[in-house]
Amino acid sequence: MMTEHPANGLDDVVHQRVRLGIMAIAHQARQVEFGFLRTTLQLTAGNLGQHLTVLEKAELIQIEKGYEGKRPRTWVTLTAAGQAALRNEITQLKQLIQQVEQAEGPPAAD
């Protein structure tokens, strides 16, 4: 018997497409630069900034500003809470996928 559907375990802050992308990219790299995120996720600077603010307020990422030579840079790092939230999101998505695949059954013969 199923007690709770995996979709109920998805985190609205993390699950949003852009924020999930930010967290996945930040997970792969120790630290990721703002411009790389903007280009990779095809966002405007303002849009990316808004999503980073949401993640930072939720304490899922840490933002560090500094300089590379004379150029200002912004780096994004996942916090321990961010790592845990991303792992939980992936677990819930895997369970959701498994349920959908089990419900489909074998492919129909043509």
Query: pLDDT tens digits, residue range 53-90?
Result: 999 999 999 999 999 899 999 999 999 999 999 999 99
- 4 confidence band (pLDDT: 50, 70, 90): confident
pLDDT digits (tens, 9 = 90+) for 24-51: 999 999 899 999 999 999 999 999 999 9
This prediction's pTM: 0.86
Residue 86 near residue 61 (C-beta atoms within 8 A): no
- What is the C-alpha R_g of the chain? 17
Which residue is it, tokens 């129909």?
Answer: 108
Q: Are 88 and 70 in contact (CB under 8 A)?
A: no
Asked whether residue 2 carries a pLDDT value surpassing 60, the answer given is no
How far apart, in whole angstroms, are the C-alpha atoms of residue 52 and residue 48? 6
